[in-house]
Amino acid sequence: MKIVSIQITVIVILLNFLNLSNALLRRCYSCRSRGELGSCKDPFNFNATDVESEPGLTAIPCASGWCGKVIEGGGTYATDDYDQAIQRMCVQRGPDDNQDRCANTVYNYKKVYMCFCQGDLCNGSETINQLQFKKIITIGAILTILHRFL
């Protein structure tokens, strides 16, 4: 029974590492929506396979590996426009401390709420992304092995 459990754990770890090659190519969603128009608005219900069939939504390669999401108007900063605009994009560089974050800032001379994240298609939904999930599974598998042998 122990050997079967160890074999399954090793297979899970190997599958996670084999799938990490996709993480080397970082992509970001690229789109813009205003109000209820367009596919870029929140909640963002698309994944990598939906990109090809959804007009106005693309997954672009991002050399920096940093994706961004900008929310403009529709709230505290709604001075010129009454509808909220959401834009998802690749940013040239992330924060100096390399930490994912969201904050109020000025972008293109407008006050906005902007989020930065690093990871493949991380500027999509607000749920846990696949890479983080795989890391958690891998760590759990390693801890299981250590627990059984110690």
* pLDDT surpasses 90 at 64: yes
CA 27 – CA 30 distance, rounded (Å): 9
Mean pLDDT on 14-34: 72
Mean pLDDT on 1-19: 62
- Helices then strands, counting H and E runs in the chain, come out as 3, 6
Is residue 79 very low, low, confident or very high in pLDDT (cuts 50, 70, 90)? low
**Cβ distance 61 to 27 under 8 Å?**
yes
Provide the CATH number for the domain formed by 2-149 in this structure. 2.10.60.10
Alpha helices, H only, the chain: 2-18, 21-24, 130-149
Q: Where are the domains of the chain?
A: 2-149
Q: Comparing 9-13, 41-45, 71-75, 134-138, which segment has the lowest mean pLDDT?
A: 9-13
Mean pLDDT on 83-92: 93
CA 116 – CA 79 distance, rounded (Å): 24
